[in-house]
A = this chain, B = another copy of it.
Amino acid sequence: MSGDPVKGLEQLRPPEGDAWGGFLAVHALVTRALDADLRARHGLSLSAYEALLKLAWAPGGSLRMNELAQKCLLTPGGVTRLVASLVADGLVERELPPDNRRVVLAKITDAGVRVLRSAHKTHLAGVRARFMQHLDDETAERLGEVWRRIREAQSTEDSAKRRAR
């Protein structure tokens, strides 16, 4: 074990290796760049931007903490803290509906909408320049199809696991 590369690990080579390894690398590079853009131009992290966008897309501009967590792929604890920071910045407010006192609504404020509108432009341009630009329409469509299949498989696996509990 003191000479050359360790043997017996050469599996998952092209084209598999490229498809998977590239996927990881591109995700890291592109999301980092997009996050940096948003921070520099709007003082918003990528997560904060995404949360604002989900809220803006929701009816009434508000969602339960729970729902927001699902849409942002975060745990409830993470959302509590994310929303707390957005509230501190005045971009979101918390609402406690009197008819169901165990839920909390996060609602985007006017200031939040203003910030989101300009951040959205930046972000969209970034996604196009860094990602979309390199996909022709047919590839984009095929990609969407692949992601859909993977998510479907993943969610049926998850519910199988939940059932086994």
Listed in ascending order, the chain A residues whose CB lies under 8 Å from chain B are: 1-6, 8-9, 11-12, 14-16, 18-31, 33, 53, 56-61, 73, 108, 110, 113, 116-117, 120, 124, 127-128, 130-135, 137, 139-144, 146-151, 153-154
Q: Are B20 and A132 in contact, CB atoms less than 8 angstroms apart?
A: yes
Q: Are A25 and B147 in contact, CB atoms less than 8 angstroms apart?
A: yes
Total copies of this chain within the assembly: 2
Q: Are B153 and A9 in contact, CB atoms less than 8 angstroms apart?
A: no
Pick the contact of A151: B25, B146, B149 (CB < 8 A): B25
Question: Within the complex, what minimum Cβ distance (angstroms) separates A86 from chain B?
Answer: 15
Q: Are A58 and B5 in contact, CB atoms less than 8 angstroms apart?
A: yes
Q: Are B3 and A140 in contact, CB atoms less than 8 angstroms apart?
A: no
Q: Are B142 and A12 in contact, CB atoms less than 8 angstroms apart?
A: no
Pick the contact of A16: B6, B30, B59, B140 (CB < 8 A): B140
Q: Are B147 and A5 in contact, CB atoms less than 8 angstroms apart?
A: no
Q: Are A19 and B134 in contact, CB atoms less than 8 angstroms apart?
A: no
Q: Which of A33, A57, A110, A140 lies at the interface centre, i.e. has the most chain B CB atoms within 10 A of its CB?
A: A140
Chain B contacts for A148, CB-based, 8 A: 18, 22
Question: Within the complex, what minimum Cβ distance (angstroms) separates A154 from chain B?
Answer: 5
Q: Which residue of B lies closest to A46 (CB)?
A: B24
Chain B contacts for A24, CB-based, 8 A: 27, 31, 73
With contacts A57-B9, A61-B6 taken as known, whether A1 is within 8 angstroms of B147 at the C-beta atoms is no
Question: Within the complex, what minimum Cβ distance (angstroms) separates A96 from chain B?
Answer: 17
